[in-house]
Amino acid sequence: RSLSEAMGRPAKAIMSIMFKEFGEMVTINQIIEEDVALAVAMELGVDLTFKRQRGALESVTEIIEQEDAPEDLVTRPPIITVLGHVDHGKTTLVDTLRKSNVKVVEGEAGGITQHIAAYQIEYNGHKLTFVDTPGHAAFSEMRSRGANVTDMVVLVVAADDGVMPQTAESISHVKASGVPMVVALNKIDLPDINEQKVMQELASQNVLPSEWGGETDVVRVSALKEMGLDNLLETLLLTAELHELKANPNRPAVGACLEGFRDEGRGSVAWLIVQKGTLRIGDAVICGKSYGYIRAMYDDTDQQIEEAPPSTPVKVTGLDSVPGAGDHFVVVETIDQARELAEERRHEGRADTLARHSGGPRTLEDILG
């Protein structure tokens, strides 16, 4: 019961995970082991390890969790992750959406040639941000680290192939996270496909299509032949509207790192996504164990930009080291604060590594073995 209260999730959800993952029927008054509780929380997308640590993490958490007054909140674009079985058309879908919506690129490009971790498109005057996480494992890993950047998921299912193992895995991760999902039934241009069979397979995964009276929208598309994409974007915007996604753009920026890499000449480069506030050039930032001033900032078309409001993915330079996927970032007042926090975190990191080597559980995989 206390765990349920601490996480703000129904006790039933905990019981169901206890049964499914640990084969144990528990009652609401039962005491469960701390490590088991952490694993359950991870499954539900809640990072309790974060709450358990003190020091630097606490101050960073404080900044992240700073409440914004309702009157300061402004509608922000949805952040969407595309998941699905290999070869069902995820890459084709995101490429096609981007090609038909890409902003006109003018002027000098930033020239950092690394694949695009996220990008924004505009449809009928509304922006949508797509995050290109490499699969459901990354999706879960980010969430288990407390970086819940995704507002909704597009599950791509090829109409000729139907629900496959990675489709089913994606579904269970999405269900555990509680993030709304829209199904893109792809490759409808192919002859001899059996849509009803795929609907049946989805239903047997407890994804009941809305046309069958369920709550999941299934949109028929062909990413290759550019069919049904308007319908998909409209469905995504409607879903976003329903969930009233808002953020305060006028506060120090916080967000998460989608990936980091080292660029010859520019040093460490990080793909960040802004969740609250506005990130600006010159901001002092701590990201995971890295810190620095934002020296340069590029958008998804590699254009230099000065500031990034909520839900904007940006590539930044200026951090002293390369942060990892799922690392939170926060803007602090001075570079000294940023350095101090980063140094504290590095110490904690070492303590953490020691704990791990002495057998302390760390990830769900470690715990479930």
User: Where on the chain is the footprint of Mg ion (CB under 5 A)?
Assistant: 90-91
Provide the b/e sequence for 247-265 (b: ≥16 CB within 10 Å).
Answer: bbbebbbbbbbbbbeeeee
Provide the b/e sequence for 80-108 (b: ≥16 CB within 10 Å).
Answer: bbbbbbeebbbebbbebbbeebeeeeeee
Choosing from 91, 166, 172, 200, the residue that interacts with ligand GDP (CB under 6 A) is: 91
For ligand GDP, which is the closer residue by CB, 81 or 144?
A: 81
10 Å CB burial of residue 282 (0-12, 13-18, 19+) is: exposed
Query: 315 is written with which tokens?
Result: 């590539």
89 binds, options ligand GDP, Mg ion, none, Cβ within 5 to 8 A by partner type: ligand GDP
301 binds ligand GDP (CB under 6 A): no
Q: How many CB atoms lie within 10 A of CB 214?
A: 15
87 binds ligand GDP (CB under 6 A): yes
135 binds ligand GDP (CB under 6 A): no
- Establish how many alpha carbons lie within 13 A of residue 36's alpha carbon, considering only the half-sphere containing its beta carbon: 15
Instruction: Specify whether the CB–CB gap between 169 and 205 falls below 8 A.
Output: no
Q: How far apart are alpha carbons 257 and 252 in whole angstroms?
A: 16
For ligand GDP, which is the closer residue by CB, 93 or 332?
A: 93
- Stretch of 118-126, 185-193, 291-299, 357-365 contacting ligand GDP, by CB under 6 A: 185-193
Choosing from 152, 193, 223, 332, the residue that interacts with ligand GDP (CB under 6 A) is: 223
Span 190-219, contacts to ligand GDP by CB under 6 A: 190
289 binds, options Mg ion, ligand GDP, none, Cβ within 5 to 8 A by partner type: none
Choosing from 45, 84, 323, 326, the residue that interacts with ligand GDP (CB under 6 A) is: 84
For ligand GDP, which is the closer residue by CB, 130 or 298?
A: 130
Q: In the chain, where does DSSP find H-type helix?
A: 2-7, 11-22, 34-43, 48-52, 56-65, 90-101, 136-144, 165-177, 195-204, 229-242, 335-357, 364-368
Cβ 224 to ligand GDP, closest distance in Å? 3
Choosing from 61, 92, 172, 205, the residue that interacts with ligand GDP (CB under 6 A) is: 92
186 binds, options ligand GDP, Mg ion, none, Cβ within 5 to 8 A by partner type: ligand GDP
9 binds, options Mg ion, ligand GDP, none, Cβ within 5 to 8 A by partner type: none
DSSP state of 352: H
Handedness of CA 144, 147, 151, 153 (dihedral sign): negative
Cβ 86 to ligand GDP, closest distance in Å? 5
Binding site for ligand GDP (CB under 6 A): 84, 86-92, 186-187, 189-190, 222-224
